[in-house]
Amino acid sequence: MPLPTFAAEKDAVTQTSAPDLTFERVNASPALSGPTPRLVRISPDGRYLTLLRNREDDSRRYDLWGFDRTTGKWSMLVDSLKLGSGRELSEAEKMQRERKRIGDQKGIVAYDWSDDGKSILVPLEGDLYLAGIDGSVKRLTDSEADELNPALSPKGAYLSFVRDGRLWTGRVGGESRPITPEESSELVHWGEAEFVAQEEMDRSQGYWWAPNDSRIAVERFDEAPVGVVTRTAIGGDGTRTYEQRYPAAGTDNALVSLYVMDPDGSNRFEVDLGSETDIYLARVDWAPDGRKLYVQRENRAQTRLDMLEVDPMNGSSRVLFTEESAPDAWINLSNAYRFLKDGSLIWRSERDGFAHLYRFANGQWTQLTKGDWVVEDLVGVDEKAGRITFVANRDDPLEMQVYAMPLAGGEPVRLTEPGWDHKASMSRDGKMLAITRSSVDHPPQSYLADAQGKRITWIEENALDASHPYAPYLASHRTPTFGTIKAEDGTVLHWKMITPKLEPGKKYPVFFEHYGGPHAQTVTHDWGGALQQAIVDKGYIYFEIDNRGSDNRGVDFEKPIRQAMGTVEVADQKAGAEYLKSLEFVDPAKIAIYGWSYGGYMTLKMLEADPGLYAAGISGAPVTKWELYDTHYTERYMGDPRQVADAYTKSDTIGDAAKIADPLLMIHGMSDDNVVLDNSVAMFAALQEAGVPFEMMLYPGYTHRVGGPVIGTHVWNTIFAFLERNGVAPGK
């Protein structure tokens, strides 16, 4: 797409005037992006499609809906308002939801199909229900204690959950009882994932049923070695403190072990995970026939990943293969793998510098995909047809497409439409696709498709017609433009820009948003959301650029941040700012930078590195000292601070606080359990000691996500009031 020009604006077709988007409307219901279904799944028999759909009058509350492919009809299977009691969740469940980034959602947030496709397990407000496809609902538990991590066994005979640190099982509809030992210490947990697994490893499970219900693999972890931090949750009606076991970088992790046992807890054996105890339990999977258990064991440095093959009848193990990182890089854990019935494995690896699919069979590797592009996800495998389906950015680095190819290898065939960014899931047999897509001009749509990608029916068409919530603002919608510049080492960097309707001779302020951290890509051909459009409606240019260190560009693009966070990312964002200053319609004195979390960290590092380059900076929930963040995330990129202390000192924001000379606003939730408030408090102190003026806005009771209909509006009005006070506003 070309750079916007005055001429292009002058020749553009005159559109019907539309009201400006306000932050109040952006944060209100119904959501301006339209309905946003979650957890779209296909039943084991392929007949039904289920999902969580948010309510029109409350975009954060979800109910369970089902679509019967034989009748073509939708129905609400579980109404969260009618079934729920509204009771407060336990602290343990609240924290689990925070780990999954769904802490602000209400109603039904998870569900699981039984293997026979006849019923669905639905957790709701601490209790469990069994929903039938006919709309019937049966209550399974009714207790004051929460049932965490609930699951139905694959054959549907057993119900399992975690309560009081122990794993409970029982026949569905019958009595459940604990099957793991009662420990003398409350620091020992069975059947749960430890903190870093939930927060950083994309593993929320702590137990795994064998496919035939015969055995269960159960994690046990002991937090005794983990240091205690006093987490303060400051709310508007009082302050609570929590003595939280938090494995900060350079400190001890929880001791993790794995056991296999029968459904009643008998015949329990410990899995041999090796002599080294300072490891990560990355993934656990059963072979399709249940005869083997496979465990991914990662070393503390995250440079080696061993696949262990385990005998589930006695816990003995052997190393099946080992994955090692490239020099000066690390292992990126993935869920893009599949054990097949013939004993082979489809596996995602970055061993050639890009994430690709390989097949491991009889001790030999065969590379299935290849090129300067990345496979994001393995969607499905149809073993009978000899076909795999995956998501990758093969055709364009800014959009993910769905592809299929022969299991034996060959040329991938794209199944989805260019110009859209896609995600997908697939039925167990690999014959039915559920695809979600969006574009720069269209909010997310989802549809059911056959294995060749042909649409069978809309799941949520989300058409931008007159009834759509965004319809009143369509006339003023601005399409982003994209382009590239080069980093100082010649690396190509992609940028995105949204401009107001440009007037000849007028210069515009820029709202320059950044994240900059690993495992994220912000410049894509997807729906950016109404917030970006609201910022443009206020007369600002919206701009972002993906720096080295970010995702989906290969190992060499990502690894420059190794033991050097806050360096190349800052330089690449600076290149973006200098490019902006070269444009005739940009006011070079009015470029404001904004970021949250890693982006908040980036704001501070960018202001410190280049005083005067930016007009102002907003730093939301920033990490300011990497020693305050957890082991698995921080050490992956920075190494162990006990070994590379100097790298940590250079990467923090505290030492150069005195260099900040531009207006700064810092924002933080006062109950943040992810990037704890201590990070901002340390920076407050450093700025004050250096005599640096700054502003702050703290939100009592809010965690890492500060938002909602009222507070979200307050956040954004606060940000733009700060910019206006400091002269970063459109000219009159």
Catalytic residues: 597, 672, 704
**Of 528, 540, 531, 610, residue with least CA distance to 569:** 610
Q: How many CB atoms lie within 10 A of CB 429?
A: 17
Handedness of CA 22, 23, 27, 32 (dihedral sign): positive
**If you ran DSSP here, which 8-state letter would residue 659 be given?**
G
Angstrom distance (rounded) from CA 276 to CA 521: 35
> What is the spatial distance between Cα 396 and Cα 404, in angstroms, rounded to a whole number?
17
**The tokens of 153 are what?**
């066994």
Instruction: Classify 169 in phi/psi space as left (phi over 0), alpha (psi -120 to 50) or beta.
Output: beta
The closest alpha carbon to 332, from 552, 583, 16, 597, belongs to 552
What number of other Cβ atoms are within 10 A of residue 245's Cβ? 15
Residue found by looking up tokens 């569900």 in the block = 111
Nearby residues of 449 by Cβ (< 8 Å), 6 or more positions away: 415, 432, 433, 434, 435, 455, 456
User: What is the spatial distance between Cα 317 and Cα 640, in angstroms, rounded to a whole number?
Assistant: 29
Instruction: Give the E-state strand segments of 634-677 in sequence order.
Output: 664-669
Pairwise CA distance, residues 643 & 49, whole Å: 51
At how many degrees (to 10) do helices 598-609 and 568-581 cross? 70
- CA angle (113, 114, 118) in 5-degree steps: 95
Fill in the amino acid letter for 511: F
Residue with tokens 């003026």: 693
User: What count of other Cβ atoms lies within 10 Å of the Cβ of residue 270?
Assistant: 12
First to last CA, the chain: 30
Q: Using CA atoms of 576, 581, 586, 592 in order, give the dihedral in degrees to the nearest 10.
A: 60
CA 414 to chain CA mean position, Å = 25
Supply 107's token pair.
């109603």
Q: Are 368 and 379 in contact (CB under 8 A)?
A: no
Residue 27 token pair = 């944060």
Two tokens at 679? Answer: 């990070």
E strand or H helix that includes residue 98: helix 91-99
The whole-angstrom separation of Cα 160 and Cα 158 is 6
